Amino acid sequence: MIKGRCWKFGDDVNTDVIHPPEFFSLDANIVRLGLFHGFDPEIQPQLRRGDIIIAGRNFGCGSSRETCVRSLLLNGIGAIVAVDFARIFYRSATNNGLLCIMPEDPEALSVIRNGETVEISLGTSAILTESGDRICLQPIEPFVQCILRAGGLLSFLDPDVSNKSVQKSQNLIV
């Protein structure tokens, strides 16, 4: 169960909007401060752990700079719900254990109001809004689930993994 306050965005939110290049750094604090800075510098200081990004189509298109995903994680973003995602972003988020989910009905996210608190239940594969709307989610691909459950792709490189499905995938790798 993930419960958090929603920040709504539109279609085609690109990586330069998510995290401007000037905040590219090896210093985690600089990376953290850059989130959505060009788009609206007021957003980042207001973020709270567990906040949820709601977006339209093609979230994360553009660059492969993983500082985008790092910044979202450093700011405690709990999940991103979008109609769909750009592929590099989706991979990088998944690889780093950041949950990206998509609604069954592309129009369904329109009932969510900016700033409202919603609950995401992966068990029932649905989002519950404050006003009682229920948004069904697309199932998460099994291997993507496996990566998320393991806590990220690099867990597959760990010599001592207890999770069975990770072990199975690991057998393919080692």
Partner 1 sequence: MSRTFSDKVIDRHALGEFSDTIQRVKLSAVVGHDATIALIVDEFYRRNLSIWDPERVLFSNDHFSPPATAERADVSNKFLAFARECHIKHLLIDRGIFNQLLIEHRLCQPGDLIVGADSHTIMGGALGACATGMGSTDILFALATGTTWLHRPRTIKVVFKGKMCRDCSGRDVVLDLLRRFGERGANYRSLEFHDNSDEGLSIDDRCAIAGMAVEMGAKFGVFIPDEITADFCQGRDGERPPELLRPDDDAVYEDVIEVNLTNIGPLVAKPYTPANVSPISEINTEVITTALIGSCAGGRLSDLRDAAEVLDGRRVHPHVRLVVIPASVKVLRDALQEGCLEKLLQAGAVLNQPSCGPCGGIDKGVLGANDVCVSTSTRNYRGRMGHWNSRTYLASARTVALAALAGQIDRGLYSV
Interface with partner 1 (CB under 8 A): 12, 14-17, 20-22, 24-27, 38-39, 57-58, 61-67, 69-70, 84, 86-89, 91-92, 95-96, 141-144, 146, 152-154, 156-158, 169, 172-173
Question: Residue 62 CB, nearest distance to partner 1 (Å)?
Answer: 6
* Closer to partner 1 by Cβ: residue 19 or 75: 19
Sheet holding 2-8, edge to edge: 100-101, 79-82, 52-55, 2-8, 117-121, 126-128, 134-136
Question: Residue 21 CB, nearest distance to partner 1 (Å)?
Answer: 4
* Closer to partner 1 by Cβ: residue 118 or 137: 137
Q: Count of CB atoms within 10 A of residue 131's CB?
A: 10
- Asked whether the beta carbons of 7 and 53 are under 8 A apart, the reply is yes
* Closer to partner 1 by Cβ: residue 21 or 76: 21
DSSP character at residue 140: P
What DSSP letter does each residue of 84-138 carry, written as one string? -B-HHHHHHHHHTT--EE-BSSTTGGGGPPTT-EEEEETTTTEEE-TTS-EEEBP
* Closer to partner 1 by Cβ: residue 118 or 148: 148
Question: Residue 3 CB, nearest distance to partner 1 (Å)?
Answer: 27
Question: Residue 119 CB, nearest distance to partner 1 (Å)?
Answer: 28
- Asked whether the beta carbons of 3 and 117 are under 8 A apart, the reply is yes
* Closer to partner 1 by Cβ: residue 45 or 142: 142
Question: Residue 37 CB, nearest distance to partner 1 (Å)?
Answer: 9
